[in-house]
């Protein structure tokens, strides 16, 4: 009881001292308040971000753990690493075996095979598409094999006229481009041949002659005119080759947006909705979307935002992409609609480009109206996306050994990872079936091997060793096996045909497991067959299962076992003869996984700095206070207070400040977290969208942060009172009697 | 004479200032009986405060012995000295030395809290009784800053007496007070000495103040001056300025 009373009196003295030295209390308390506030708020924010980010990263592509070959040169980075290129990973030969091994490990719920790579895709060129359509109509018309009634005849003639019109419309646009070019560069800088091509194509004479020799004319247009219209983009896309069935089952965040998922065993490509919108959409439409999003979600205005002004400017300057899509009929319709919308007098001669530019010159007042008008009136007549669902996508990739490999895959639809819809970071990944992935990456499928065999047989291809290639090509060498080519006898060289003894008949340069470049098949029939094949071929599940993968995502039944499961996976791998490396989702998310650690680090540094400053200032203030109170302390000692009492008095004083202001700061932080949690923080950029894994972050209060705030505050307060307390304990009772003169 | 409460024998106290040894007391021997009202007199620098510090167990002698309540202070540890001060001695300071953030009641209660053995009811009874006695019964809730110098010294006296010490030491208790207030304070101390039997030792260099004492001990240059030992309250005891 009495000890408590002594504590009470020392606390009383301490508290009253705080009141007596308000400025000091205010400064010290303010710093502690801010520190505790920051601990609670910062920690809660970081924890919330970590939580939502981990949910979306784990639930979208990374899984809880990623497993890959331990002999790989680089570390796996699912969502893009520190370097631009893809990490160099060693392959895992048999996914079925890997899965069996992984499923033996406790807590492993499911395993998804994966391979991540990137490739170039050519997006459609408007004139190419227009010419291809024209060719199609011409072919139908000239096709003597099918009998045609009058109605069909007439319909085809109308189609032909309209399509010709469209091509001529495109040529007019190109003519305009040429005129503009001449205005800015000197005459001689413009390629004369180009001018001639355009002039010739635009001439009425050319089109009169067209019907006489449509294929010849088409060839001229395809070979000479089309290269001048360079509106096609080379797109670099990143994709995950995976078993799409088990992918969508294991990753709950993945949702199909348009189209359907790829049927089991089929080749197929799913675009990320983000990429589809951002890269493949008509640029004018995409810019309108972006302006709308900025205005609606972030409250930006065209008047204030430089970025939005740039979008508007680009839309007014880059109407060509729209113009190229329009034939004469559509041009007239657009002209009439735009003149009505812009309240201009109807003038059939007005230039559509200028009208479009005027239409796209939006401001904050008319934007919403123009946006709605665009999608209601204009968009239905436009091809909004360069690649449509159902198109066959030709993907060209460099295989691991450096060959260019191309694969045709049908686009089945688009998907998004829920919560990451707007994020360029996670939205950059597209999905592809595993078989196509293996081919692009340079692994042979059974199907491909068979195809090579057939092709080789049909083309009577003679296999040529690299050493003898020159001789073979130029006929300068003899038929004798070259003595300088022992290395050509590559062990296990793919396709080494038995019965052909000379070493020069070993296939050139075959890296084991990597198929050689296929001869390009360019005849229309072959192309058609390939397209048909791409759509209809069904692979047996065994081929998907038993093939090569680069990595596998492991999903756990409970995420808290992640740390324990990682070494267990490696161990189980050793038992089963697989050299495996298991990394956490944070590591496999690459750069992104590190962001949260970075954020945590920054917060930690800020907290350390704040509390170091707090420590110094509190210490300083207490030293000053102690020096001021030498007589009081001396008096207390004289009348019988032990040193311990003095010590507890000062420590209690510091702890009281800490608890009082730390408590207030933590409470203020908690209240703010609650308020922000109720309102939410709007994501203002793609990066934020990713971190928040959704349009708004709703932070939750982290009770551990409140506890941490108190612990830190009390620790700092106690530590900072040690030196002043030591000073105070050296005050002797005699000092109570000293009179300052 | 009653039993001695303080017994000082050949006490020498040297202070070292840097490398110089400054003798403050050069061998003082004296005894103070219980119930005395004694004044230690002498000019500044004569060793009054040093002697008072030795008696008050705030300091220990360089040589010789100081016994307070039968205990040799040189043989006690720092903590034991503190306990001895707490339980046997009351202090009254020239500048009152109240804890400025505590009110009158709390200042008086403080030594009892340090003693830890007295319950709160008993503490309250004792403090209020003493504050009544020093004439501050109506000021219990006041802060020292709200009191006059004389009132503050009364609080200090109450604080010194609240533990019922055998000995009260007062270092120039009236030096910061005007003469009328100083006389009131001395009257109060004398009254308490008479009614409670508490031993008072106070230092002063004021002739008028000395005259209140039953015994005047004159110090000069760290030694007792000649002509000490007057026990009667003689207002005009001849000083011995050597």
Which of B56, B78, B97 shows the shortest C-beta gap to A635?
A: B97
Q: How many residues belong to chain A? A: 741
Supply the pLDDT for residue A473: 55
Pick the range with the lowest mean pLDDT from A186-195, A453-462, B139-148: A453-462
Q: 110-149 in B: which are within 8 Å (CB) of A?
A: 110-111, 113-120
Does residue B168 carry a pLDDT above 80?
A: yes
Contact A202, A172 (CB under 8 A): yes
Supply the pLDDT for residue A677: 87
- CA–CA gap between residue A104 and residue A706 (Å, rounded): 41
Which of B56, B58, B117 shows the shortest C-beta gap to A2?
A: B117
Pick the range with the lowest mean pLDDT from A192-201, A285-294, A459-468, A613-622: A459-468
Does residue B230 carry a pLDDT above 50?
A: no
Dihedral of alpha carbons A86, A91, A96, A97, sign: negative
Of B91, B67, B66, B98, nearest to B203 by C-alpha is B91
Supply the pLDDT for residue A534: 65
Higher pLDDT, residue A288 or A470: A288
Residue A376 gets which letter from DSSP?
I
Contact A170, A134 (CB under 8 A): no
Pick the range with the lowest mean pLDDT from A391-395, A396-400, A521-525: A521-525
Dihedral of alpha carbons A172, A178, A181, A187, sign: negative
Does residue A686 carry a pLDDT above 90?
A: no
pLDDT tier at B102, thresholds 50, 70, 90: confident
Does residue A519 carry a pLDDT above 50?
A: no
End-to-end CA distance of chain B: 29
Range list of β-strands (E), A62-145: 65-69, 108-122
Angstrom distances, CA of residue A613 to CA of A35, A164, A605, A618, A717? 10, 77, 12, 8, 12
Of B63, B83, B62, nearest to B71 by C-alpha is B83
- Estimate to the nearest angstrom the gap between the alpha carbon of B105 and the chain centroid: 21
Mean pLDDT in residue range A159-167: 81
Give the Cβ contact number of residue B54 at 10 Å: 27
Q: Token digits for A71?
A: 């002999």
Residue B24, classed as helix, strand or coil, is strand
Dihedral of alpha carbons A533, A536, A541, A544, sign: positive
Higher pLDDT, residue B31 or A326: B31
Does residue A221 carry a pLDDT above 70?
A: yes
- CA–CA gap between residue B225 and residue A274 (Å, rounded): 104
Contact A3, A575 (CB under 8 A): no
Task: Please tell me if residue A17 touches chain B, with a CB cutoff of 8 Å.
Answer: yes
Q: Token digits for A220?
A: 């001229």
Pick the range with the lowest mean pLDDT from A102-111, A518-527, B11-20: A518-527
Sort out which chain B residues have CB atoms less than 8 A from A20's CB and list them: 100-101
Contact A596, A49 (CB under 8 A): yes
Angstrom distances, CA of residue A243 to CA of A172, A550, A584, B18? 48, 13, 21, 88
Q: Quick one: angle between helices B120-133 and B104-115, nearest 10? A: 130
Q: Token digits for A490?
A: 């590559």
- Among A18, A634, A639, A643, most B C-beta atoms within 10 A, so best to mutate, is A639
Of A704, A693, A622, nearest to A657 by C-alpha is A622
Of A250, A208, A272, nearest to A108 by C-alpha is A250
A130-141: per-residue pLDDT in tens?
787 788 888 877
Task: Please tell me if residue B86 touches chain A, with a CB cutoff of 8 Å.
Answer: yes
Higher pLDDT, residue A468 or A224: A224
Does residue A383 carry a pLDDT above 70?
A: yes
Mean pLDDT taken over chain A = 79
Does residue B54 carry a pLDDT above 90?
A: yes
Q: Quick one: angle between helices A22-57 and A703-729, nearest 10? A: 150
pLDDT tier at B233, thresholds 50, 70, 90: very low
Mean pLDDT in residue range A669-684: 86
Q: Token digits for A284?
A: 């004018």
Higher pLDDT, residue B96 or A460: B96
Does residue B201 carry a pLDDT above 90?
A: yes
Higher pLDDT, residue A519 or A526: A526
Return the top range by mean pLDDT from A21-25, A247-251, A489-493: A247-251
- CA–CA gap between residue B61 and residue B75 (Å, rounded): 11
Strand A429-433 with A234-242, pairing: parallel
Mean pLDDT in residue range A159-173: 80
Supply the pLDDT for residue B82: 93
Q: A734–B53: do the CB atoms touch at under 8 Å?
A: yes
A90-149: per-residue pLDDT in tens?
888 888 889 999 999 989 999 999 888 888 776 666 777 778 778 888 887 777 666 667
Mean pLDDT taken over chain B = 86
Q: A636–B53: do the CB atoms touch at under 8 Å?
A: no
Residue A398, classed as helix, strand or coil, is strand
Residue A331, classed as helix, strand or coil, is helix
- CA–CA gap between residue B208 and residue B41 (Å, rounded): 11
Supply the pLDDT for residue A629: 86
pLDDT tier at A445, thresholds 50, 70, 90: low
Does residue A485 carry a pLDDT above 50?
A: no
Supply the pLDDT for residue B85: 93
**3-state class percentages of chain B: helix first, strand second, coil last, to nearest 5:** 35, 25, 40
pLDDT tier at A483, thresholds 50, 70, 90: very low
Residue A242, classed as helix, strand or coil, is strand
Contacts 24+ apart (CB under 8 A), A202-211: A202/A168, A202/A171, A202/A172, A202/A175, A207/A164, A207/A168, A210/A164
Single pTM value for the model: 0.62
The residue behind tokens 């110094």 is A616
Q: Which helix (H) or strand (E) holds B14?
A: strand B4-17
pLDDT tier at A521, thresholds 50, 70, 90: very low
Does residue A429 carry a pLDDT above 90?
A: no
Q: A18 to chain B, minimum CA–CA distance in Å?
A: 9
Pick the range with the lowest mean pLDDT from A383-392, A417-426, A640-649, B9-18: A417-426
Q: A736–B97: do the CB atoms touch at under 8 Å?
A: yes
Of A480, A442, A487, nearest to A466 by C-alpha is A487
Task: Please tell me if residue A734 touches chain B, with a CB cutoff of 8 Å.
Answer: yes
Q: Who's near B144: CB < 8 A, 6+ residues apart? A: B96, B98, B99, B100, B102, B104, B107, B152, B155
Sort out which chain B residues have CB atoms less than 8 A from A732's CB and list them: 58
Does residue A317 carry a pLDDT above 50?
A: yes
pLDDT tier at A699, thresholds 50, 70, 90: confident
- Estimate to the nearest angstrom the gap between the alpha carbon of B31 and the chain centroid: 15
Which residues face B67 on adjacent strands?
B7, B72
Does residue B226 carry a pLDDT above 70?
A: no
Mean pLDDT in residue range A313-336: 85
A228-269: per-residue pLDDT in tens?
766 556 778 888 889 888 888 888 888 899 888 888 888 899
A554-608: per-residue pLDDT in tens?
999 888 888 899 999 999 999 988 889 898 888 887 666 677 788 888 888 988 8
Higher pLDDT, residue A226 or B7: B7
- CA–CA gap between residue A652 and residue A632 (Å, rounded): 17
Q: Quick one: angle between helices A283-298 and A306-317, nearest 10? A: 160
- CA–CA gap between residue A598 and residue A583 (Å, rounded): 18
CA-based nearest residue in chain B for residue A12: B102
Sort out which chain B residues have CB atoms less than 8 A from A13's CB and list them: 99, 101-102
Sort out which chain B residues have CB atoms less than 8 A from A19's CB and list them: 101
Q: Token digits for B206?
A: 């004021």
- CA–CA gap between residue A310 and residue A296 (Å, rounded): 18
Mean pLDDT in residue range A326-348: 86
Which residues face A347 on adjacent strands?
none
């Amino acid at each position: 009881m009495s000890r408590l009373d002594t504590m009470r009196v020392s606390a009383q003295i301490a508290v009253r001292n705080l009141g007596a030295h308000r400025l000091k209390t205010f400064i010290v308390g303010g710093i502690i308040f801010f520190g505790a506030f920051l601990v609670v708020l910062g920690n809660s924010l970081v924890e919330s971000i970590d939580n939502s980010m981990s949910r979306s990263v784990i639930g979208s592509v990374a899984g809880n753990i990623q497993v890959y070959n331990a002999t790989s040169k680089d570390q796996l980075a699912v969502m893009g690493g520190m370097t631009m290129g893809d990490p160099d990973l060693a392959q895992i030969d048999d996914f079925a075996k890997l899965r069996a091994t992984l499923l033996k490990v406790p807590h492993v719920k499911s395993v998804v095979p994966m391979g991540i790579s990137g490739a170039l895709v050519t997006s459609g060129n408007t004139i190419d598409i227009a010419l291809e359509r024209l060719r199609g109509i011409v072919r139908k018309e000239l096709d003597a094999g099918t009998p045609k009634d009058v109605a069909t005849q007439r319909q085809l003639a109308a189609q032909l006229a309209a399509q010709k019109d469209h091509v001529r419309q495109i040529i007019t646009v190109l003519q305009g481009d040429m005129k503009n070019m001449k205005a800015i560069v000197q005459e001689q800088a413009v390629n004369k041949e180009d001018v001639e091509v355009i002039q010739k194509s635009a001439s009425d004479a050319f089109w009169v002659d067209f019907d006489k020799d449509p294929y010849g004319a088409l060839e001229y247009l395809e070979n000479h005119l089309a290269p001048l219209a360079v509106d096609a983009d080379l797109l670099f896309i990143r994709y995950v080759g995976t078993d799409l069935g088990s992918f969508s089952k294991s990753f709950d965040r993945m949702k199909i947006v348009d189209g359907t998922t790829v049927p089991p065993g089929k080749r197929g490509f799913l675009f990320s909705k983000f990429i589809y919108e951002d890269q493949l959409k008509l640029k004018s439409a995409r810019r309108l979307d972006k302006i709308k999003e900025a205005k609606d979600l972030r409250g930006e205005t065209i008047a204030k935002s430089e970025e939005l002004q740039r979008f508007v400017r680009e839309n007014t300057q880059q109407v060509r992409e729209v113009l190229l899509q329009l034939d004469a009929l559509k041009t007239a319709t657009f002209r009439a609609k735009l003149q009505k919308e812009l309240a201009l007098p109807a003038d059939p001669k007005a230039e559509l480009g200028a009208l479009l530019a005027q239409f796209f010159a939006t401001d904050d007042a008319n934007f919403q109206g123009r946006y709605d008008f665009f999608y209601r009136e204009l968009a239905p007549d436009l091809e909004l996306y360069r690649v449509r669902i159902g198109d066959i996508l030709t993907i060209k990739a460099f295989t691991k050994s450096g060959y260019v490999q191309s694969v045709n895959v049908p686009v089945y639809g688009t998907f998004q990872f829920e919560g990451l819809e707007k994020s360029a970071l996670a939205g950059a990944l597209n999905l592809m079936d595993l078989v196509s992935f293996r081919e692009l990456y340079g692994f042979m499928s059974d199907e491909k091997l068979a195809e090579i065999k057939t092709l080789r047989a049909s083309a009577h291809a003679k296999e040529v060793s690299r050493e003898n290639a020159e001789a073979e090509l130029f006929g300068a060498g003899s038929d004798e096996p070259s003595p300088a080519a022992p290395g050509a006898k590559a062990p296990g060289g793919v396709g080494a045909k038995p019965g052909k003894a000379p070493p020069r008949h070993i296939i050139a340069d075959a890296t084991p497991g990597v198929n050689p470049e296929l001869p390009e098949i360019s005849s229309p029939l072959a192309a058609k067959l390939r397209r048909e094949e791409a759509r209809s071929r069904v692979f047996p599940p065994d081929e998907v299962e038993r093939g090569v993968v680069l990595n596998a995502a492991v999903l756990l039944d409970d995420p808290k076992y992640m740390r324990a499961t990682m070494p267990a996976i490696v161990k189980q791998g050793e038992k089963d003869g697989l050299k495996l490396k298991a990394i956490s989702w944070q590591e496999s998310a690459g750069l992104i996984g590190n962001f949260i650690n970075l954020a945590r680090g920054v917060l930690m540094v800020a907290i350390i700095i704040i509390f170091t400053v707090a420590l110094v200032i509190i210490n300083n203030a207490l030293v000053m206070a102690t020096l001021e109170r030498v007589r009081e302390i001396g008096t207390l000692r004289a009348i019988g207070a032990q040193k311990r009492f003095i010590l507890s008095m000062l420590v209690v004083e510091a702890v009281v400040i800490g608890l009082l202001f730390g408590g207030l700061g933590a409470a203020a932080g908690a209240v703010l977290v609650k308020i922000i949690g109720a309102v939410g923080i709007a994501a203002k950029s793609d990066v934020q969208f990713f971190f928040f894994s959704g349009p708004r972050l709703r932070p939750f209060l982290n009770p551990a942060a409140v506890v941490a705030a108190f612990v830190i505050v009390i620790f700092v307060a106690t530590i900072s009172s040690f030196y002043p307390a030591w000073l105070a304990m050296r005050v002797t009772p005699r000092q109570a009697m000293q009179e300052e003169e | 004479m009653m039993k001695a409460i303080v017994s000082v024998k050949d006490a020498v106290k040297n202070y070292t200032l840097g490398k110089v040894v400054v003798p403050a007391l050069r061998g003082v021997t004296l005894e103070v009986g219980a119930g005395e009202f004694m004044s230690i007199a002498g000019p500044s620098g004569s060793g009054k405060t040093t002697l008072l510090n030795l008696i008050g167990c705030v300091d220990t002698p360089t040589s010789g012995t100081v016994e307070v309540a039968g205990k040799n202070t040189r043989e006690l540890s720092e903590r034991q000295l503190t306990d001895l001060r707490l339980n046997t001695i009351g202090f009254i300071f020239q500048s009152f030395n109240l804890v400025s953030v505590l009110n009158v009641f709390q200042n008086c209660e403080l030594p009892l809290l340090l003693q830890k053995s007295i319950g709160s009811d008993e503490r309250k009874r004792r403090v209020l009784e003493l504050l009544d006695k020093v004439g501050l019964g109506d000021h219990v809730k006041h802060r020292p800053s709200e009191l006059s110098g004389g009132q503050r010294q009364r609080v200090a006296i109450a604080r010194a007496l609240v533990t019922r010490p055998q000995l009260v030491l007062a270092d120039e208790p009236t030096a910061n007070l005007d003469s009328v207030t100083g006389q009131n304070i001395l009257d109060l101390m004398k009254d308490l000495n008479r009614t409670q039997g508490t031993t008072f030792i106070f230092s002063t260099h004021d002739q008028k103040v000395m005259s209140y004492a039953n015994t005047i001990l004159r110090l000069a240059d760290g030694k007792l001056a000649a002509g000490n030992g007057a026990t009667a309250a003689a207002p005009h005891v001849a000083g011995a300025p050597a």
